[in-house]
C-alpha cells in the first residue's frame, strides 16, 4: 500500500566545511569534514544534537512508527535461553524473561532443580547499558572471573566472584580489551590488556602494545605479572589460553585479521620459555587442545578449507605435522572439544554440518541436525558425557538440544515460544551469477503465498569480509518485516568463510570490488526474477557491511530505494588511524602504501559521493561509544551525503548515546533502533503497517 501523505521536506543543519588537504603519492585529496573526527569538541557535540533532532522529527512524523515499535515489543517479549553448560554439580545458563535489558545468568543443581540467580547484569546500571561480556570458571570451580563492558565500549573491567557464596572478591582489573580469561588451576588467570589510555581520547586513539598478564587471586592489579609483550611491534594483538589439563600456556599473536602466529609454553617444565609453533603471519591457525604432549591445531596452511593437525612442540616444523582431520570440500569453521572428542563444524552452502571425531581423527558420526540452518555450542569438559547445543534458522526459532556424547542422540531440551506462527514463512536458497560469473548463494525468506509479480518490498542484507560467514539466522525484527509482506534476502558474499579461505581472499585487498559486485548482482537478480523492482529494494549492513552499503549506494545509486549503512567503515583512507582500525589493513590494505591507495580511493564511500546525484533514502546509524568503528566515519559520510544529494530522498543520521558497535546493547535500545530503522524502510518503500 502506498503512503498517501508525504512527510515535510527536510531542512538539514548546515555543516561547516574546514577543508584539510592530504597528498597521497602525488594525488591531493581534500577532506572538508575532518573536524568531525574530534568527538570531544563542542562543535561536534552540537552537530550531533542538531542531526539527531532533525532525524527524530522525521521519524516521529511517520504515521505508523509507534505501531511498529509496539508490534516489535510484543514479538520480542518471549523467554530467551542460552544452552546450559555444566561446571561441577551446577548447570549454568542465561535467560532473558522477554524484555529485560540484559540476560541473567542462572544456575541449578540438576536439570530438574529450581534455578537460582548467579549474576544479574541488570543491577549494574539503571538503564541497562552495563553488560556482562565474559565469565570464566577456575579449573576446580572455586572462582568465576568475569568482565563488564559499559555503554557498548570495547573496554572491559574484570572482577572475581566466589562461586560458593556468590560474593565478589576485592579484585578489580581495568583497561582490558580483546581478551580471554584463562585460568591456571584456582590460583589466577591470564588476560590481555592495553596500557592505561588518555581519558579524553580512550574511545578514538589508536590502540597499541597489547600485552598478556597473569593475575593472582586476591592481589591488586599493580602486582600482576607480565607474561608477554612485544615492544618492537605495537600493532599486534595477543591472546593467552591454557589447555584444560593446565599442561600448556598458549599464545595467539595476530598482525591484523588475516594471519596468526602460535606460541606454546610447557607449564610442567620449569624455567622454559615460549616455543614458536606456527610462524606468522601468512596463514590462519588456532589451538584446539592438547593430546598429551602434542598440540592439536586448526590451520589453513596448504589447506584453504582448513584441516586439523597434531604438532610436537619439540619439533614444530611443518614437515613433522601429522594430519588428524584432513581438509574436506566443505569449509571448516571451528573445532571444539567435549567428552574426549573433537567436534568439527563445517559449512555446506552456508549451512552448518557437524562431525564428531576421536582425538586421533577417526570419524565417529555426523551429528543429525533439523535441517538447513545454524548450530553452535558443541562441547564441554573432558569428563562430560553430555552437552547442549543451539539450532535455529530464518523461520525456525532457537531450539536447545541435549546431546549424548556416547550414543550421538540429540533430544529437544527447550524451544523458544515465539509470538507468531513459524509455519507462515518459508525459506529458499538460490544461486546467482556475479559480474565475473562466480556463483553466489542467497537465502530468501517470505510469507507463504508470496507472488513474484515484481512488486514485493525486499530487504537485502550482507557482510562480505573478515572470514565472517552469513549463515541462517533468527531475527525478530527481520521476521516482522516479512510478516508485513516483505522478502528478507541474505547473501553469502565473497570475503566471508562460507567456502573457505579462497572465498575470503576473493573479497579482500585489491579484490574487494568483488564483494560489491556480488551484492549489486544479487539486487539485479531479484529484479530480473520478478521478486521486486528498484523502487521496492532496501539495502542494509553493519560495520564492514556498512562499508558494503556505502560502496553499493555510491556505485549504483539508481539500484536501491533505501540504504541503511550501520556503524560503517566509510573513510577508507583514514580507518587505520583510530583504535583497532590498524588491524584491518591485512583485509583492506592501507592508504599509507602507494600500491593500495588508488584502489581504496576508488571505492571509499566517503570519497565517492558526488554532488548532483540522487541517492537512495538513507538512514546512517552509529553511536557515541563505538570504539571499534569510530563514529567519525558515519559523521563525515552523512555530512557529505546531505551536501551532495540532489534528489528528494531523505538523508539522515541516527546517533545513539551510551551505546557502541552493537555488543551489550540493552533490549530497550535494540527495540528503539529496530523500530526507527524498519519504520524508515517501510515508509520509503511505500509500505504501510497492516
Give residue-wise pLDDT tens across range 544-603: 999 999 999 999 999 999 999 999 999 999 999 999 999 999 999 999 999 999 999 999
What's the burial of 76, exposed, middle or buried (CB within 10 Å: 0-12/13-18/19+)?
buried
Written as one string, the DSSP assignment of 481-511 is HHHTT-EEEEE--TTSSTTHHHHHHTTSGGG
d(CA 519, CA 506): 14
Q: Spot the catalytic one: 215, 607, 625, 661.
A: 661
Q: What is the mean pLDDT of each run of 10 residues along the chain (690 residues)?
A: 51 94 98 96 96 96 97 96 96 97 96 96 95 95 97 95 95 97 97 95 93 98 97 96 96 90 92 90 94 97 97 96 98 97 97 98 97 95 96 96 97 94 94 98 97 98 97 96 97 97 97 98 98 98 98 98 98 97 96 97 98 98 92 98 96 93 92 98 93
Residue 543 a catalytic site member: yes
Residue 647 near residue 560, CB atoms below 8 Å: no
Query: Among the residues of 381-512, which ranges form H helices?
Result: 476-483, 500-505
Secondary structure element (H or E) that encloses residue 587, with its range: helix 585-588
305, 298 contact by CB (below 8 A): no
402 flagged as catalytic: no
Q: Tell me the per-residue pLDDT of 69-89, one tens digit each, with 9 for 90 and over.
A: 999 999 999 999 999 999 999
State the catalytic residue, choosing from 543, 590, 591, 604: 543
Inter-CA distances, 516 with 72, 550, 600, 602, 605, Å: 31, 10, 13, 12, 12
- Tell me which residue of 631, 606, 626, 469 sits closest to 547, measured CA to CA: 606
> Quick one: pLDDT at residue 7?
64
Amino acid at each position: 500500500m502506498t503512503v498517501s501523505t508525504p512527510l515535510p521536506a527536510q531542512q538539514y543543519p548546515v555543516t561547516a566545511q574546514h577543508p584539510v588537504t592530504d597528498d597521497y603519492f602525488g594525488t591531493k585529496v581534500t577532506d572538508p569534514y575532518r573536524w568531525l573526527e574530534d568527538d570531544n569538541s563542542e562543535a561536534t557535540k552540537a552537530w550531533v544534537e542538531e542531526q539527531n533532532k532533525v532525524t527524530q522529527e522525521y521519524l516521529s512524523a511517520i504515521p505508523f512508527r509507534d505501531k511498529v515499535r509496539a508490534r516489535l515489543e510484543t514479538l520480542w517479549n518471549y523467554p530467551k535461553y542460552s544452552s546450559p553448560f555444566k561446571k561441577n554439580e551446577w548447570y549454568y545458563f542465561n535467560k532473558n524473561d522477554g524484555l529485560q535489558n540484559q540476560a541473567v545468568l542462572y544456575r541449578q543443581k540438576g536439570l530438574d532443580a529450581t534455578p537460582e540467580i548467579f549474576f544479574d547484569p541488570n543491577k549494574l546500571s539503571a538503564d541497562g547499558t552495563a553488560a556482562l561480556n565474559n565469565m570464566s570458571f577456575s579449573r576446580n570451580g572455586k572462582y568465576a572471573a568475569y568482565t563488564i563492558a559499559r555503554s557498548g565500549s570495547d573496554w572491559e573491567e574484570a572482577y572475581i566472584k566466589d562461586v560458593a557464596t556468590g560474593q565478589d572478591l576485592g579484585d578489580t582489573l581495568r583497561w582490558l580489551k580483546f581478551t580471554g580469561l584463562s585460568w591456571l588451576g584456582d590460583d589466577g588467570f591470564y588476560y590481555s590488556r592495553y596500557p592505561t589510555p588518555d581519558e579524553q581520547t580512550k574511545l578514538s586513539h589508536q590502540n597499541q602494545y597489547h600485552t598478556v598478564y597473569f593475575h593472582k587471586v586476591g592481589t591488586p592489579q599493580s602486582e600482576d605479572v607480565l607474561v608477554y609483550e612485544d615492544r618492537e611491534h605495537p600493532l599486534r594483538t595477543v591472546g593467552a589460553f591454557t589447555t584444560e589439563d593446565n599442561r600448556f600456556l598458549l599464545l595467539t599473536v595476530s598482525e591484523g585479521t588475516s594471519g596468526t602466529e602460535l606460541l606454546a609454553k610447557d607449564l610442567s617444565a620449569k624455567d622454559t620459555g615460549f616455543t614458536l609453533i606456527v610462524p606468522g603471519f601468512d596463514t590462519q591457525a588456532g589451538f584446539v587442545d592438547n593430546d598429551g604432549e602434542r598440540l592439536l591445531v586448526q590451520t589453513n596452511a596448504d589447506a584453504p578449507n582448513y584441516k586439523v593437525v597434531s604438532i610436537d612442540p619439540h619439533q614444530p616444523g611443518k614437515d613433522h605435522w601429522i594430519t588428524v582431520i584432513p581438509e574436506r570440500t566443505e569449509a571448516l569453521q571451528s573445532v571444539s572439544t567435549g567428552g574426549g572428542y573433537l567436534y568439527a563444524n563445517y559449512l555446506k552452502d552456508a549451512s552448518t554440518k557437524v562431525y564428531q571425531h576421536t582425538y586421533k581423527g577417526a570419524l565417529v558420526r555426523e551429528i543429525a541436525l533439523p535441517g538447513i540452518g545454524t548450530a553452535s555450542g558443541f562441547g564441554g569438559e573432558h569428563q562430560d558425557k553430555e552437552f547442549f547445543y543451539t539450532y535455529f534458522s530464518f523461520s525456525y526459532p532457537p531450539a536447545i538440544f541435549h546431546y549424548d556424547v556416547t550414543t550421538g542422540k540429540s533430544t529437544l531440551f527447550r524451544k523458544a515460544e515465539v509470538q507468531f506462527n513459524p509455519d507462515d514463512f518459508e525459506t529458499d536458497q538460490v544461486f546467482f551469477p556475479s559480474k565475473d560469473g562466480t556463483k553466489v548463494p542467497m537465502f530468501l525468506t517470505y510469507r507463504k503465498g508470496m507472488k513474484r509479480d515484481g512488486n514485493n518490498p525486499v530487504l537485502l542484507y550482507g557482510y562480505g569480509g573478515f572470514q565472517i560467514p552469513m549463515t541462517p539466522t533468527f531475527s525478530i525484527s527481520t521476521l516482522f518485516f516479512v510478516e508485513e509482506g516483505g522478502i528478507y534476502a541474505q547473501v553469502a558474499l565473497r570475503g566471508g568463510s562460507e567456502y573457505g579461505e579462497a572465498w575470503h581472499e576473493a573479497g579482500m585487498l585489491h579484490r574487494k570490488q568483488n564483494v560489491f559486485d556480488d551484492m549489486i548482482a544479487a539486487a539485479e537478480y531479484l529484479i530480473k526474477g520478478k521478486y521486486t523492482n528498484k523502487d521496492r529494494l532496501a539495502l542494509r549492513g553493519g560495520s564492514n557491511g556498512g562499508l558494503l552499503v556505502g560502496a553499493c549506494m555510491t556505485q549504483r545509486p539508481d539500484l536501491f530505494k533505501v540504504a541503511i549503512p550501520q556503524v560503517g567503515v566509510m573513510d577508507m583512507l583514514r580507518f587505520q588511524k583510530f583504535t583497532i582500525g590498524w588491524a584491518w589493513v591485512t583485509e583492506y590494505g592501507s592508504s599509507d602504501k602507494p600500491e593500495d591507495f588508488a584502489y581504496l580511493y576508488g571505492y571509499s564511500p566517503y570519497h565517492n559521493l558526488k554532488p548532483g546525484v540522487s541517492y537512495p533514502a538513507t538512514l546512517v546509524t552509529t553511536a557515541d561509544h563505538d570504539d571499534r568503528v569510530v563514529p567519525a566515519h558515519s559523521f563525515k559520510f552523512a555530512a557529505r551525503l546531505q551536501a551532495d544529494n540532489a534528489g528528494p530522498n531523505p538523508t539522515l543520521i541516527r546517533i545513539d548515546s551510551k551505546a557502541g558497535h552493537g555488543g551489550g546493547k540493552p533490549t530497550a535500545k535494540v527495540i528503539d533502533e529496530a523500530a526507527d530503522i524498519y519504520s524508515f524502510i517501510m515508509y520509503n518503500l511505500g509500505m504501510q503497517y497492516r
